[in-house]
């Protein structure tokens, strides 16, 4: 036990030191800047603005009070997510020990601590590390509950379920997975007031969720729904790629994805070698793939919602299954396979960190500093899409006025940007030359019209400069008139 505690302490220390020394100082990203904007008001205001978004309130309420104590610097806003991430390392160790063995727990917690994917979201001011943590705790309480349905475990399971539902809508997929497993494997649960217990949890969670849905409708839910595309087969495989190798350049990602037939064959081979009567393995298989299947179903029939970060609810069980299956080989072969998996995680973490071409890096800080140093008061700084205002204004202190295209009055009652049309850019830019000498146009997060905007500007004004600061984030400089 003492050796295990020292091992977990070492993992937590390494992960924490890595985040603080390397990741905490990176430029704030779009979602993080939006988190700061959403939580920089009183509690009622926080709840009201979150209700208009697509997320649940728990993380933002916690972040609101966290910022009151620690401020809104990059390190301050990210340290809350880091705290949840670091707490998930011993939680994964405990879950793997309860479900399988000490050996699986050692490698699963290592994989968690050095995961490129989890380290990225463990240093981002969003709810995903909290979602990962409550998912791990939900699995643990559910497994312990079916083994010994004590009152304290019922309370713990209900509390964790409530936290999960208030953290992210996708946690509902874990609840559905647990319900499916309960009805499919009643032999595991035996006799007892199971339906009464689960029914009580469902009532508490359902009432809380229904209240939030009602409040969202009152507040004007859906005013800021993200523009997502329906998932493709590439998106499906990208989820697993992100889970294991993080966010890499197209070259690295393409190489890994090219191995998918081999990986699928290996997965089915490993599954066939295990006894399918193992309830833990059956449960983790459901919890791994049912949320992904449900996300695809919702995306194809209702609204696209398929993002790897939303599907972090599948990650704990996928990691545990991977380590469990590899450990099923004979001792030497198993150790080699597990060591290779661990080494690959470390390599991908380093590559994701040092490669400036990583597709999820967003260097708004450099953009703001560039414009501040070069633009004058008679210039104009325009960002498109409009919500790029959040990360830009986090850093920007320049003389030129900051505007958006299309125009966006964030503080009006129905705060939606004007819908794009080809006539809109012509109308908005018509008066620029009368007032400004240059326009600095920042393009990123294509909402379906960014290329049209660039082409229009190139055809109607003289481009005098262009800088790319991170993948998909480019600044175009146009001369509007000569003095």
Boundaries of every domain in the chain: 2-354, 364-479
Name residues whose C-beta falls within 8 Å of residue 148's C-beta, 6 or more positions apart in sequence. none
Residues 465, 477 contacting (CB under 8 angstroms): yes
Name residues whose C-beta falls within 8 Å of residue 64's C-beta, 6 or more positions apart in sequence. 39, 43, 46
Judged by DSSP in three states, 441 sits in: strand
Pick the more confident residue, 121 or 2.
Answer: 121
The two tokens of residue 410 are 């964030």
Omega prior to 202 cis, within 30 of 0: no
The pLDDT of residue 292 is above 80: yes
Judged by DSSP in three states, 327 sits in: coil
> How far apart are the C-alpha atoms of 357 and 366, rounded to whole Å?
15
The pLDDT value recorded for residue 316 is: 97
Q: What is the CA radius of gyration of the chain?
A: 24
Residues 309, 131 contacting (CB under 8 angstroms): no
Residues 28, 394 contacting (CB under 8 angstroms): yes
The pLDDT value recorded for residue 417 is: 73
Percent of the chain predicted with pLDDT > 90: 55
Angle between helices 233-245 and 279-301 (to 10 degrees): 130
Q: What is the pLDDT of residues 378-405, one digit of tens each?
A: 999 999 888 899 999 999 999 999 998 8
The pLDDT value recorded for residue 413 is: 57
The pLDDT of residue 461 is above 80: yes
Q: How far are the Cα atoms of 17, 79, 397 from residue 75, in angstroms, in the given order?
A: 13, 6, 20
Range in 211-225, 228-242, 245-259, 415-429 the model is least confident about: 211-225
Quick one: pLDDT band at residue 51, thresholds 50, 70, 90? confident
What's the pTM? 0.92
Task: Give, for 429, the enclosing helix (H) or strand (E).
Answer: helix 422-429
Name residues whose C-beta falls within 8 Å of residue 420's C-beta, 6 or more positions apart in sequence. 406, 447, 448, 449
The pLDDT of residue 266 is above 60: no
Please, what is the average pLDDT of the chain?
A: 88
Instruction: Return left, alpha or beta for 329; rule: phi > 0 is left, psi -120 to 50 is alpha, else beta.
Output: beta
The pLDDT value recorded for residue 75 is: 93
> How far apart are the C-alpha atoms of 159 and 108, rounded to whole Å?
25
The pLDDT value recorded for residue 33 is: 94
Residue 109 burial (C-beta neighbours within 10 Å; 0-12, 13-18, 19+): buried
Residues 160, 58 contacting (CB under 8 angstroms): no
Q: Taking Cα atoms as reference points, which of 435, 101, 433 lies closest to residue 278?
A: 101
Percent of the chain predicted with pLDDT > 70: 92
């Amino acid at each position: 036990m003492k050796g295990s505690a020292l091992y977990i302490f070492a993992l937590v220390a390494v992960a924490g030191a890595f985040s603080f020394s390397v990741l905490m100082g990176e430029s704030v990203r779009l979602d993080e800047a939006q988190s700061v904007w959403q939580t920089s008001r009183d509690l009622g205001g926080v709840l009201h603005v979150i209700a208009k978004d697509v997320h649940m309130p728990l993380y933002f309420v916690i972040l609101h009070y966290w910022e009151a104590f620690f401020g809104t610097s990059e390190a301050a806003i990210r340290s809350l997510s880091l705290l949840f991430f670091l707490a998930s390392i011993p939680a994964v160790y405990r879950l793997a020990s309860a479900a399988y063995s000490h050996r699986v727990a050692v490698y699963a917690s290592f994989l968690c601590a050095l995961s490129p994917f989890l380290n990225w979201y463990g240093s981002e001011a969003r709810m995903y590390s909290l979602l990962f943590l409550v998912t791990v705790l939900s699995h643990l309480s559910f497994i312990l509950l079916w083994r010994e349905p004590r009152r304290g475990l019922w309370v713990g399971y209900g509390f964790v379920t409530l936290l999960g539902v208030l953290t992210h809508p996708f946690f509902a997929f874990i609840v559905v997975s647990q319900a499916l497993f309960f009805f499919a494997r009643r032999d595991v649960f035996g006799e007892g007031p199971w339906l009464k217990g689960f029914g009580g949890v469902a009532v508490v969670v359902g009432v809380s969720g229904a209240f939030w849905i009602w409040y969202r409708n009152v507040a004007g839910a859906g005013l800021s729904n993200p523009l997502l595309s329906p998932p493709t087969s590439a998106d499906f495989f990208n989820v697993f790629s992100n889970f294991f190798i993080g966010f890499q350049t197209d070259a690295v990602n393409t190489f890994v994805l090219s191995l998918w037939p081999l990986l699928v064959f290996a997965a089915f081979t490993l599954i066939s070698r295990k006894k399918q009567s193992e309830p833990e393995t059956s449960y983790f298989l459901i919890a791994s793939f049912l949320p992904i299947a449900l996300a695809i179903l919702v995306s194809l029939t209702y609204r696209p919602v398929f993002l790897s970060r939303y599907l972090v609810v599948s990650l704990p069980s996928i990691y545990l299954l991977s380590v469990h299956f590899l450990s099923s080989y004979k001792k030497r072969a198993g150790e080699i396979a597990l060591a290779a998996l661990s080494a690959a995680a470390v390599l991908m973490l380093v590559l994701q960190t040092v490669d400036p071409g990583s597709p999820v890096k967003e260097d708004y800080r450099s953009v703001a500093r560039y414009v501040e140093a070069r633009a004058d008061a008679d210039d104009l700084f325009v960002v498109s899409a409009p919500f790029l205002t959040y990360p830009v204004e986090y850093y920007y202190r320049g003389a030129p006025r900051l505007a958006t295209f299309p125009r966006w009055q964030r503080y009006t009652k129905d705060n939606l940007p004007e819908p794009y049309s080809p006539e809109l850019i012509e109308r908005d830019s018509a008066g620029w030359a009368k007032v400004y000498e240059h326009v600095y146009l920042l393009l990123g997060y294509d909402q379906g019209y960014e290329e049209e905007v660039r082409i229009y500007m190139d055809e109607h004004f003289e481009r005098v400069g262009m800088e790319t600061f991170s993948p998909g984030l480019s600044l175009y400089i146009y001369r509007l008139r000569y003095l």
